Amino acid sequence: MLDIDAVRAQFPILSRQVNGKPLTYLDNGASAQKPQIVLDTIQRAYGEEYSNVHRGLHTLSTISTENYEAVRGTVARFLGAPSEEQIVFTTGTTEAMNLISYGWAAPRLEAGDEIVLSVMEHHANIIPWHFLRERQGVKLVWVEPDVNGDLDPQAVLEAVTDRTKMIALTQLSNVLGTVVDVKTICHAARERGITTVIDGSQAAVHMPVDVADIGCDFYAITGHKLYGPSGSGAVFIRPERLAEMRPFMGGGDMIREVHRDTVTWNDPPMKFEAGTPGIVQTIGMGAALEWMMDLGMDQIAGHERILRDYAREQLEGLNWLNVQGRSEDKAAIFSFTLDGAAHAHDISTVLDKKGVAVRAGHHCAQPLMEHLGVTATCRASFGVYNTKQEVDVLVDALELCHDLFA
């Protein structure tokens, strides 16, 4: 069992007040807070060790480069990737998906080829494929979750035709909390020669991930949800796909030689990392991932299961609250609307007055909102530092909303 008081003590921001109330931070699905070790690492990287990477031969450049490159190994360990050479750094999942779209899919997919995706996807895992639809006539094939929010792997596989070139799925819905059995899907897809892209933005925060076991071709993570800095992230890419990819962004670092009439590329992964990267962001992400691995991903998942069960029980007691997504094994992410006219934004504003931070809106998942028949929801998303007492604070604040708006 994790000592949650000790975990919380590592997050300076958690001891602040908001609107005169102790902060109850339940917006982890949007972005997580940062532990002291990450703040210290950023401070040291800028204050004592800073220089550009991969360029200078001087001492600081060497230290910076070593610290930055060491994170590739950390990410590989965190994701169960066989080699750090299969890890490309990004600024987050949005960049990863665009890299895959421009670098791998655009040169390969032709008019009439199909991409299967679920209506639960975040826009980051939709728009790059819409580009291919608009520009190249690629067809997007949508699969829906069932009434509980579960996505049946068989439904995904039944959507596959002989024109399917790619399946792009989230492993964990940022709105419903549903965990998708991506392993079954990826293994079946691989047998049929279909490329799989997994959005691990949420899953990697809440559960252990092993890309070798999942069997996917691409797996994207984003540092800011993993208790690390914004503007950091990484994508695991299977070596066969890496070899097939053309560069996405052009500039420094991704080249070997440039002449007036010709250019040759650096080897992967640097072939896909143009320009000065997010040096300190990446180093900070490395500290965050080490911190998570030290806590233990099983321990984190275990604590969040306790929170999920308690929150589920408490929220079910509010018979005027409509929780979206009732998957048994969901993560501790609860999207809800209130009976009556209250808009999600109004609810979120009242909660904020009580110091409770939640997200209100479409959560960058408009196809899912359409599927659910709502325009917006409020979302309380829990992280490793949250407590049962904070569930109680949320419930009290929701009761106040009900009193105000009912």
Closest CA to 177 of 392, 336, 352: 336
Dihedral sign (CA 62, 63, 67, 70): positive
Comparing CA positions, the residue from 384, 385, 365, 383 lying closest to residue 324 is: 365
- Which of 186, 364, 378, 401 is catalytic? The answer is 364
One-letter identity of residue 167: I
Q: Does 118 bind ligand PLP (CB under 6 A)?
A: no
Using CB under 6 A as the binding rule, whether residue 232 contacts ligand PLP is answered as no
CB nearer to ligand PLP: give 297 or 400: 297
CA distance 255 to 250: 8
Does the protein bind ligand PLP through residue 171 (CB under 6 A)? no
Q: Is 364 a catalytic residue?
A: yes
Residue 380 to residue 352: CA distance in whole angstroms:
12
- Smaller CB separation from ligand PLP, 381 or 387: 381
Which range in 67-75, 90-98, 153-161, 274-282 contacts ligand PLP by CB under 6 A?
A: 90-98
| Rounded-to-integer distance, Cα 184 and Cα 118, Å | 15
Q: Which of 4-12, 138-146, 198-206, 333-341 is the region at the interface with ligand PLP (rule: CB under 6 A)? A: 198-206
Distance separating alpha carbons of residues 360 and 380, to the nearest angstrom: 9
Q: Cα-atom radius of gyration of the chain, to the nearest Å?
A: 22
Options 196, 201, 282, 327; binder of ligand PLP; rule CB under 6 A: 201
Nearer residue to ligand PLP within complex by CB, 67 or 93: 93
Distances (CA, A) of 318 to 182, 228, 307, 313, 401: 33, 35, 17, 9, 12
Give the CA count within 13 Å in the CB-facing half-sphere of 171: 27
Q: Give the residue with the Cβ less far from ligand PLP, 92 or 367.
A: 92
Judged by CB under 6 A, does residue 27 bind ligand PLP? no
Amino acid at 368: L
Considering only 33, 64, 222, 348, the residue that binds ligand PLP (CB under 6 A) is: 222
Cβ(325)–Cβ(403) below 8 Å: no
| Member of 170, 324, 348, 387 binding ligand PLP (CB under 6 A) | 170
x/- mask, ligand PLP, residues 360-399, rule CB under 6 A, reads ----x-----------------------------------
Residues near ligand PLP, by CB under 6 A: 92-94, 122, 124-125, 170, 174, 199, 201-202, 222, 233, 364
